[in-house]
Amino acid sequence: MNQYKLRFIPLGGVVGVTKNMYVYELYENDKIKDILIIDCGIGFPMEKELGVDFVIPDVSYLADKAHLIRAVVLSHGHEDHTSALPYHYQVLGRPPIFSSKLTSVFVENKFKEFNERIRVNVVDHEKTYSFGSFELKFIRMTHSIPDTLHVLIKTPVGAFYHGTDFKFDLTPPYGSYPDFYEITKAGKDGVLCLLSDSLGSEREGLTLSENIVGQTFEDEMRKTKGKFIMTTFSSNISRIRQCVEAAIKFNRRIAFMGRSMRENTKLAQGIGYLPIPFSLVLKEEETMKVPPNKVCLIVAGSQGQYNSALAKLSRNQNPYIKIKPGDKVILSSDPIPGNEGEVYALIEELSQVGADVIYTDIQDQLHASGHGSQEDLKFLIRFTNPKFFIPIGGTIRHQHQYQKLVESLGYSEDKVFSLEEADTVWFTQGKAYKGDPIETKNIYVDAYGIGDVGNVVLRDRKNLANEGIVVAILIVDNKGQLVVQPKIMSRGFVFEKGEEVLFKEGVLLIQKILKPRGGRVIEVNGIRKEVGNTLEEFFFEKRGRRPLVIVDVIQI
């Protein structure tokens, strides 16, 4: 008789809110039989990760198992769930991809940026799909973006309800309602483990409907004498459509700003998700010819990204559009955890150039979270009635709060698995236990490549930013003896007037290190190492700082 067990591995999306990627491994007689992947998204760097554009999951564990990957399922179109897939698709063995309609056009367009054309399979909610020994049912769900899916995964071990980002929105502005029938049916048939969005676990009550934001746009637009500027995530088509409808009502012409905003809105228009009369669409350069009170700008950059369209407006760097008193900027999104500093700095800059900036700290109903609050989470728990729980899509603090929530419903503490990235949980018939973690590392992406930025590079960048740089130039003969006096230069380390005495002492130290000693020959690499270490300790002793020290040895 065959024996089955399943191992769940989060490669992202459990310690941080982003970089979501989840692996289900089904074993038959202690051998991996089938692998299913749900989501493959990017993460956003922490402030200390200087020069990093974004982070992607480490899939090296899967590299030699690509032939066992039966499918990649994408739950919705946000970048933190989809946009790492083009980087890993070859390594994963080019498995079939399944998603909803809106997600499919976003992902296919993302692959085009990599000069690759793929076909994403659009799911039929009425069908059951088989991927090896996995049987999947796709369940309609509401979030801040249309066409969000929950996934019921049936396996020989038991059923898993994968409930990524969601809220129970009973009055969504567009798209389908949550499919309560399929959710409760899954619970009635039996769910071994619920994997639930946990980001809203700290908030009481139910999360507000997306519908409330449309009325807020109308109210604010009615009072605006100048340009009306709204920013949100470029994939948040529901929010964008509500702003468009308000603009149409007040006879404002609409311009989309920022590459991602232009691309995503064009894609949504192409499948009928964003109907806009052609006569109301503006190009950026055409806005100068239209009275400000007849202009609506929908702009990328809601997270304070430095080079975003909104940030450039705040710095008066757009050649066609200038923010002036009377203009209103609506931030219709909350900062992703970790981005608060950038967002508030952006608000300061916009205010300084004269805009009336409206954000959720000063006005309610500008933004409705896409993540369920405590009552939403309780409903999903009661509907599915699982034996075990894994909170996903939140930080460690959100996981801990989710565990308290589960315990308040009568479940014991040992039924909830709070995980860190690369932790594992094993499931057998009716049982679950934590396994050994697999090995992973951070994969950083910057403008020059993937994985070229490692911990050493980040450490040096941090030193450069915080402590400055010192360069020592040494000219030596073939025995490693100084030919001329060493020269020391710095940037961002000490004030110029303080350099002279300090660097004279540094030169004396170098001369002492390289003082002739009985014809001894010193190798160039040895000189670099010894001088560099000595100067680092010297500068720390004298100034309490450790600049990045570079020793350039020229041998003649």
Residue 284 near residue 257 (C-beta atoms within 8 A): yes
* Nearest CA-CA partner of 458 in 448, 437, 444, 438: 444
The H or E element spanning position 128 is: strand 128-131
Q: Is 162 part of the annotated catalytic residue set?
A: no
Residue partners of 144: CB distance under 8 A and separation at least 6: 165, 210, 233, 236, 238, 239, 368, 369, 370
CA 313 centroid distance within chain = 23
User: Could you tell me the two tokens for 377?
Assistant: 């989470």
Q: Are 477 and 556 in contact (CB under 8 A)?
A: yes
How far is CA 48 from each of CA 248, 344, 455, rounded to the nearest angstrom?
43, 18, 11
Fill in the amino acid letter for 135: E
Measured between alpha carbons, how far is 195 from 198 in angstroms, rounded to an integer? 9
- The residue from 371, 376, 398, 423 that is catalytic is 371
* 3-class DSSP state of 374: helix
The single-letter DSSP state of residue 83 is: T
**Is 371 a known active-site residue?**
yes
HSE-CB for 452 with a 13 A CA cutoff:
9
- What is the distance between the alpha carbons of residues 36 and 22, in angstroms, rounded to a whole number? 8
Distance CA 522, CA 283 (A): 66
Distance between CA atoms of 146 and 143, rounded to whole angstroms? Answer: 7
Orientation angle between helical segments 180-189 and 374-384, nearest 10 degrees:
50
User: C-alpha angle 516/520/525, rounded to 5°?
Assistant: 100
Q: Which of 34, 147, 165, 197 is catalytic?
A: 197
Residues assigned a catalytic role: 197, 371
